[in-house]
Structure 1
Amino acid sequence: MRLDAAQTASALPFDRLADALAEVLILKRRGGVSAPPRLHMPLPGGVLLVMPATDHQLLMVKRITVHSGNPGRGLPAIQGEVTVSDAATGKPLFELHGPTVTARRTAALSLLAARLLAKSPTGPLVVVGAGVQARTHALAFHEGLGVKACAVSSRTAAKAEALAQSLRQAGLDAKAVDAQELSGMLSESSLVVTATTATDPVIPDRVADDAFLAAVGSFSPRAAEIPAGLVRRSQVYVDDLKAAQEEAGDLIRAGVDFGRITPLEDVADGAAQGPDSGKGPVLFKSVGHALFDLAAARLAMCSLSAASPAS
């Protein structure tokens, strides 16, 4: 069975996906799931990423390609699929639309992090970027946290306005803002998401001390969306500590001490406390991991089973 983009999205509602991610994070900490480092293979103008993972019942393999020049060709920047099989036999079970899985599980993980770490989780929200991740994050925060107000900033004003219009149609009070307006709004917004392909910081260090930031755009040690000074004054949490040490350019370029950074799984499992009041903003840095795709596969399996006629 192959699910298209719309069917994949329907099987992965943000609230339930955040819960599924919490379950997998706890299993990860307790040794109940496993995944090797993802394979990177350079391609002309892009990269191939292959990511397997298992909970010893399901076997998930995600294969995606990332070509940043594709939008100029009228093609999606991210393409690929998630295949799900029975771990005991290898029997194929179903296939999910890879870019949709990536978009929704990334946004749902930020949603989970905001649930666990944000001091004022209802917003207002600032989203920097106007692509797929920017849109899914705004929708996830709207549906999962009740966020109503959202400002969208992008290097391309037309793209920011198009996203704001799309979000208004989805029920958000959304508006596009320019760089000057963004700088002023950062000090007033309790939620900030950066979801860009930029290699250098996209926001100034104007974020309020009680803000929650989710930085999800960069996954290269040479790229950083968040300025080093803001990283250093923040309480930092990551989606996966080992992956962050290798790929989180925001943190690497800021020279942080990874021994003082908390993986989100520790908070989800109750082994670590949430952020301390008065000790600066909370920064959640996400670079991605195959186990998050496994969480999506587990939820999709439940959704498909529930939709199947009773035998």
Structure 2
Amino acid sequence: MTQRTPSVLTAAQTALALPYPALARQIEAVLRDPAVVVPARIVQPLPGGGSLFVMPATDARVAITKLITFTPDNASRGLPSIQGDIVVFDVVTGSRMAILDGPTVTARRTAAVSLLTAQKLARRTDGPLLIVGAGVQGRSHLEAFHAGLGLQEVWVASRNPASADALVQHARTLGLRARRVDDADAVLADCPLVVSTTPARQVVLRAMPGQDAFVAAVGAFTPAMVEWDAAICRRLAAEGTLVVDTRDADHEAGDLLQAGIDVTALPTLADVVGHTAAWTRQAGRLATGPVFFKSCGWGGWDLAAARCITDLPT
């Protein structure tokens, strides 16, 4: 058997190979695949205040390891907060098949997870979409919702007005109506789609979303991180529908954990996709209040990206 030379994809090549609608479909396929195994990720604190993430996953065909660092203070250094790679192996031969750009996969698969969940649960998909946080995740969610939901309008809020203006301009180049808003809380109730993607060191959202809103909260992905006010999270639990991305959120969903919510009782995206009993018990509430989707990250999403790329012709 001839061992093929592994592909080393640049950030641009990685992005081109991961169109959002196709990646969302592959994420759903991963959730339905009984051969998928995703061990618990390792999060190793680093002396400089960052963290090293080691995230393996496998199915019947490929195995991956994601190896990235998260350094919150890198914005002040002019460096990206997430750096690293994803290595893809053939499970039969053990040979390395590809090396993917870690930050690009992280941005795109996170947005594709939100897209898939919105496709399943959002009641209105034309917008306005309120994006809180105009960084990498804000941009990727804008592009994903535009590609997969038929989005028509977006509003952007950021503590950095220049960043917000840049994302607004990007939205306009996609053909969307777009504007900057300076007070996210003041317009929350007017937006049927909301994505919060802030660095999540402190509460930034203290108002209640509209009754027909779909919220994807992705900025806080450790127990110590938080974007949403605890009282609002408790109201959402009482009046709306809470869904988490995976059971890893049981110990990582800082917004919900700090609000005293029993995350272990909440349905996951796999429950939604599989129409399990855990989801059926919640589904009846969809028409009565907002949907709050808490996303913390999972190696299975990176496996979905690897599956997309290894399915490409060589």
Q: Any idea what SS the aligned residue of 2:311 has?
A: helix
RMSD (Å) for aligned C-alpha atoms:
1.4
User: TM-score scaled to structure 2, two decimals?
Assistant: 0.92
User: Per-residue deviation at 1:147?
Assistant: 0.7
Contact 2:202 2:226 (C-alpha < 8 Å) held by counterparts: yes
Q: Distance in 2 between matches of 1:55 and 1:70?
A: 34
1:53 equivalent in structure 2: 57
Whole-angstrom CA distance in 2 between matches of 1:132 and 1:123? 20
Residue 290 (structure 1) aligns with = 299
Name the counterpart of 1:205: 207
Separation of aligned partners in 1, 2:74 and 2:111: 22
Tell me, in whole angstroms, the C-alpha distance in 1 between the residues paired with 2:286 and 2:305: 33
Structure-1 residue corresponding to 2:35 = 32
- Whether the aligned pair in 2 keeps the contact of 1:275 and 1:282 (CA below 8 Å) is no
Partner of 1:155: 159
Q: Which piece of structure 1 moves more, 35-44 or 124-133?
A: 35-44
Tell me the equivalent position of 1:268.
273
C-alpha spacing 1:89/1:71, structure 2 compared with 1 (3 Å): same
Shift of 1:201: 2.2
How many residues end up aligned between the 2 structures?
299
Match of 2:250 in 1: 245
Aligned partner letter, 2:309: A
Partner of 1:265, secondary structure, is helix
Is the deviation greater in 118-127 or in 274-283?
274-283
Q: Secondary structure at the match of 1:69?
A: helix
Distance 1:183 1:41 in 2: 35
| Cα deviation 1:130-153 (Å, max 9, x = unaligned) | 100011001100110011110100
Displaced runs of 4 or more, over 6 A:
none
Question: Which consecutive unaligned segments of at least 5 residues does structure 1 have?
Answer: none
For residues 43 and 264 of structure 2, what CA distance do their matches in structure 1 show? 26
Check 1:118–1:160 CA distance in 2 against 1; reply closer, same or farther (3 A cut).
Answer: same
State whether structure 2 residue 10 is matched by structure 1 residue 4.
yes
Q: CA deviation at 1:72?
A: 2.1
| Alpha-carbon contact 1:5-1:97 (below 8 Å) kept | yes
Q: Name the % identity.
A: 46
Which of residues 156, 181, 184 in structure 2 aligns to 1:177? 181
Distance 1:38 1:259 in 2: 18
User: Are the equivalent residues in 1 in contact too, given 2:257–2:263 (CA < 8 A)?
Assistant: no
Matched residue of 2:190: which SS? coil
Superposition deviation, residue 122 in structure 1 = 2.1
Deviation at 1:184, TM superposition (A): 2.9
1:102-143 CA-to-partner distances (Å, cap 9, x unmatched) read: 000000000000011111122210000010001100110011
Counterpart amino acid of residue 22 in structure 1 = E
Per the TM alignment, residue 188 of structure 1 is displaced from its structure 2 partner at its CA by 1.1
Give the stretch that moved more between structures: 31-40 or 272-281. 272-281
Q: What is the Cα deviation at residue 279 of structure 1?
A: 3.1
TM-score, with structure 1 as normaliser: 0.92
Gap runs ≥5 in structure 2: 1-6
